[in-house]
A and B are shown apart, each in its own frame.
Chain A
Amino acid sequence: MTYPHIIFFIILVLPLLGGLINFLAGARSGPWIATAALLLSSILSVFLLKLTVDLPSVLRFTWLPGIEIGWRLDRISVSLIALVSFISMLIHLFSIHYMKDDPGIKRYFAKLGFFTFSMLGVLGADHLLLLFVFWELVGFSSYLLIGFWYKNEGVPYAARIAFITNRIADAGFLIGIILIMVNSGTGFISELQSIDQTGWWVGAAGIGLVLGAFGKSAQVPFFTWLPRAMAGPTPVSALIHAATMVAAGVYLLIRTSVIMPPALVSTVAIAGALTAFIGAFSALAQTDIKKVLAYSTVSQLGYMVMGVGVGATDMALFHLWTHAFFKAGLFLSAGAIIHYFHKHFHSIDGQDMRNMGNLKSVMPVTQFSYLVCMLSLAGLPFFSGFLSKDGILLKSLEWSALAGPWAFIVPVLGFFTVGLTAYYMGKQALVVFYGKNRMETELVKDKEDFLTVRLPLIILAIGSLGLFYSFNPFVHHFQILDFWFGHQIPLSFSMGWLAPAISIPLAVGGLFVAFRSYRPERSFTYRDYVARGHYRKWSMHALYLDQFYHESMVKAFNMISEIIYGLDRRFIDPVLNWLGMSFVVFSKLMDLVDKLIVDKLVEFVAYISKLGGDFLRLFHGRRVQLHIFWAVLGTILILLWINNFM
């Protein structure tokens, strides 16, 4: 156990400990203790980054007999550890305000701490099995957090569907892990490059890993759980369904793509592009403020997966990083709005954008933070999202030029999604913050709390500025990334200017279209908006995939189980009972044989004996003289009989 590992374990355990102490401490001070623990974790992780930046730190131990597993702290894992603990700290801070009046606040912070612990474990693990352990714990804590308001309609179902969907994908993941461990003799991620990649199992294992990653990162066809997961408290959505948990799948892909066959990697690229598009398309017609953001998360995750598929793993990782900031910022802004509505207009649905409008007048800092993060998401220059997204798009152009004509579908979908993203985000910003108040009642002035609302929002907004990562807004000059990966990121792409040249007009165009339809001074009837027409309906229901799963698979599964149970009750059990009964019948039969034959035989013998006895009794009168007579006679007869022989 080396020095960096001790620090890592402190970082790992602090959130858990903070959550536990919070649970014991009480509703007032508990949340602050949990937040302080996270703050300490973030500071320590920066320190850890300094320690491990040049020398990755490896710790291995035997967990099961004959199976060694271990941790590895290198630049990538430690910078993500720093990211997760920092974002988690901000969300803890925000939650103090958001959950202030909830009776379950202690439970909430304990679960949040447990989640952060699991996520940090995923990042530090070097062995696939160890990663899987924490991977499942992430799924479990997400189940607990989605289902936090378990009394509300639809919440338990959302939590269950999220877990089961992940579980289905994880079954594939587990098979992949086992295949690698059994056939290559190692499960260490850092050793994957050097394993012998021949044999049928390599492809199968790759598919398994991809399945696992797609489940957690909400890719086609598994993404339906993510929008449902919005049933959890909004800071939870910010932390796990935007910034950290869903990124775990992308992280896994980045780390394991080395062993995947080329055909599989291309499939991953196409699936990512498709997810990016479907997510953006589904966000178009949503009216729930969180649903828009949820589908945008699906879409952005699609970009990251696409990035891995086209070979831009470093850019995918970068996008994961920038996305964590701006998406957390967006969700927390949404959380601030929802909390505002909940507090002042309890009877009004505070997540329905159709009730909103002109919120800039009451929530200036939220508006500012939201705008910065939204422009970053939409992919405008000077913002971080632009840099990372364009890195992926650029690489996809290059990749498709080499891969063949069919591959153009990937950049085409990718660029088209840029336009859609700018449109739906622009629409959301305009509808929520500008224009007229759409409620019957007046908006209420309410100052946002500085420490627990404004501060996290401002920090996340600053983190979403492009300046933070590159001094040149257009050309990617990523000193910070070079440091991060330990080598210069090659950016001398042959089509260097092409990507921004396409994506900037598309993004600006998308914003322009949104502005034309929803500009503040224009009177439009968003209050009565209902998704009508084919395209809006398909968008509203995300291609009806969720309904399809429910109607086909869930119902079929339940039906099969009922049929099987019927089989058990009506066939197997009766057959076995019948066997048992036949034993009873057989023994009854034996009993009959016993009574009618064996018993009767015995009785017959007894009868014969009795008959003989009765006959002999005839000769025995009650007089002694008669006895003597018979005795003498008998003796004579015997003597005569003996004499005969002699």
Chain B
Amino acid sequence: MIDHLLSLIVFIPLLGAGVVLFLKPDQSAIIKGTTLFLNVVQLLACIILVILFQKQTDAASITTNFQFVEKYEWIRLNLGESLRFIIEYHIGVDGISLPLVVLSSFLMLVAIISSWNQSKQVKGYFVLYNILNASIVGCFVALDFFLFYLFFELMLLPMFFLIGIWGGPNRSYASVKFFLYTLLGSILILIVMIGLYLGVTQPGSTIHTFNIIHMMGTENFVQDSLLRPGAGGTIFGIAARYAAFLALFVGFAIKLPMVPVHTWLPDAHVEAPTAISVILAGLLLKVGGYGIVRIAYGIFPDAALNYAYLIAVFGVISIVYGGLNALAQRDLKRMIAYSSVSHMGFVLVGLGALTVEGVSGAVFHMVSHGLISGALFLIAGVIYDRTGDRLIDNYSGLAGKLPQYTFVVVFMFFASLGLPGLSGFIGEILVLMGAFDSASSNGLLPPWIGVVSTTGIIISAAYYLWATQRMFFGEYWVREASWESNMHDISKREWTMFIPIMLLVLILGVYPRFLLDFTDNTVNQFVNYVLEVGANLMGK
């Protein structure tokens, strides 16, 4: 059982989807119950995974550091003697993917509680929901590029329908926009994937492979392939490997999202139902960040070094630009959506710094932002559930009427703006330390990157506090008299969503080693790998 723990985590939700398919549409309690139960089982499996995970391994490099590895031949086509087509079912976790796996299972569970009152086409909703769960977790554990791509694309399908059917008034525009943007990214990734497949063979044979770990070894590239380090081929005048890296980077950056390819996000969020917003911000954006780390950086460390500065610059732009946009918003959910753009900018800066602090910070920030942004969208959902309206100016003085809600909002707003003691601060400080350290340790980033990134903490304070002032302080007032009767404080069900998140945010903020002890070893190896191998390859 333990040997197949990871597969279990991936396939439990698919089992759920299968079971729900056989239930009748009107058995909504059973449908919800089944999904909830299986998700709890999945989370328990994740906890076992965490307990059994070895924080310190004696693996010498990032490529041999994976644990709970399962590897089976999955598809094999013999097309003649020399041409064989092999795709493997190959999964495993290391310190970078483990936290994200646990995060996804946790947030999916929270999102189920959030969608507990969903009454429209319950069966379809939860079937798609379970598929989404499996595909997200699958993305984080896949070590075969083809498998990764499969899960990556599979994510799109339920997401498209979940926004397009269960969303707000402008849902079809938003879902198509989401779909088109992500599809464009997928195409870029697909092209590079095929190129890599044709260029990489299994060690010591001529059989081509999709294995990401093999793609990280430069000796596995075919002699005359375009993507072989030092091959000298160019695409549009850019060295082929750099062009491939950029294609991957843009593909994942759309998902992240990075300015200027972020505009799908506010629309998708505003239209998506609350639970889907939670997953979108909490998990889907992280797939983008994870893809950059695992695939773009992992396979093309030389290009990562070459473009580190550029990536950090785009990170800084995202931080400032997203923050300023958030300040201008009148819709609470849209403000939170833009704040996500701003915060994911920190992830890019941390990755650009390529120091241990920076990359640890990026990973930490992804987890922390997953929790915090999830809670923030739940917060927007609480008020939307009561009034069907999210405009900040339509409320005032809620603190007197809804004190518990106000407590949660202030807690989460301050967590997001980086109050020390809560998790948001740790991610930001690590990233900033990484950015400043980069100037003196590896020379990739100049100090101004860190300085400008720091202004992000001022801007985030500005929009959160302004929103708090407008919505929660002053005399109690709401726009419509008909809302009055619905203005009751947070229910027990809503507390069960908030309390675990708040506890985790607090624990991670006070005792960050709770997470960093898991990531530290891998991140060290990762940074060493990128710096050493990257520098070697650039020298060629």
Contact = CB atoms under 8 A, between A and B. Distances in A.
Contacts of B321: 564, 568
Interface in A130-189: 132-134, 136-137, 140, 143, 147, 150-151, 155-157, 159-160, 163-164, 167-168, 170-171, 174-175, 178-179, 181-183
Contact of A163 (B461, B476, B512): B461
Nearest to B176: A580
Contacts of A594: none
A132 B325 CA distance: 28
A603 B400 CA distance: 74
A163 B465 contact: yes
B360 A65 contact: yes
Contacts of B520: 65
Contact of A150 (B324, B328, B399, B462): B399
A246 to B, nearest CB: 19
A64 B429 CA distance: 11
A306 interface: no
B233 interface: no
Contacts of A170: 457
A164 B465 contact: yes
Contact of A580 (B180, B455, B466): B180
Contacts of B327: 557-558, 561
B461 A182 contact: no
Interface in A556-577: 557-558, 560-562, 564-565, 568, 572-573, 576-577
A573 B325 contact: no
B328, B357, B430, most chain A CB atoms within 10 A:
B328
A176 to B, nearest CB: 11
B324 A564 contact: yes
Given A140-B419, A163-B461, A174-B454, A156 B469 contact: yes
A109 B329 CA distance: 35
A168 B455 CA distance: 8
Nearest to B475: A151
A174 B437 CA distance: 14
B350 interface: no
A167 B455 CA distance: 10
A573 B266 CA distance: 11
B330 to A, nearest CB: 10
Nearest to A199: B440
Interface string B434-456: 00110010000000001100110
Interface residues of A, number: 48
A156 B465 CA distance: 9
B329 A565 contact: yes
A550 to B, nearest CB: 14
A129 B429 contact: yes
Interface string B383-422: 0000000000000010110000000000000100001110
Interface in B138-196: 177, 180-181, 184
Contacts, number: 130
A62, A157, A167, A572, most chain B CB atoms within 10 A:
A167
A132 B420 CA distance: 8
Contacts of A576: 181, 260-261, 263-264
B108 to A, nearest CB: 29
B39 to A, nearest CB: 31
A64 B428 CA distance: 13
A62 B513 CA distance: 9
B516 A64 contact: yes
A529 interface: no
A178 B433 contact: yes
A572 B325 CA distance: 13
A615 interface: no
B429 A164 contact: no
B134 interface: no
A572 B328 contact: no
B26 interface: no
B292 interface: no
Nearest to A580: B180
B458 interface: yes
Contacts of B260: 572, 576
Given A164-B461, A174-B429, A178-B450, 17 more contacts: A62-B513, A65-B360, A65-B517, A134-B420, A151-B473, A156-B468, A159-B469, A163-B461, A175-B450, A178-B429, A178-B436, A183-B440, A561-B328, A564-B324, A565-B325, A565-B328, A568-B263
The 3 tightest CB contacts between A and B, nearest first, are: A156-B473, A565-B328, A133-B420
30 contacts: A64-B426, A64-B430, A65-B513, A132-B420, A134-B420, A137-B419, A147-B473, A156-B469, A156-B474, A157-B469, A164-B462, A167-B457, A167-B461, A171-B454, A171-B457, A174-B454, A175-B432, A175-B451, A175-B454, A179-B436, A181-B433, A182-B433, A182-B436, A182-B437, A558-B328, A560-B324, A565-B324, A576-B181, A580-B181, A583-B180
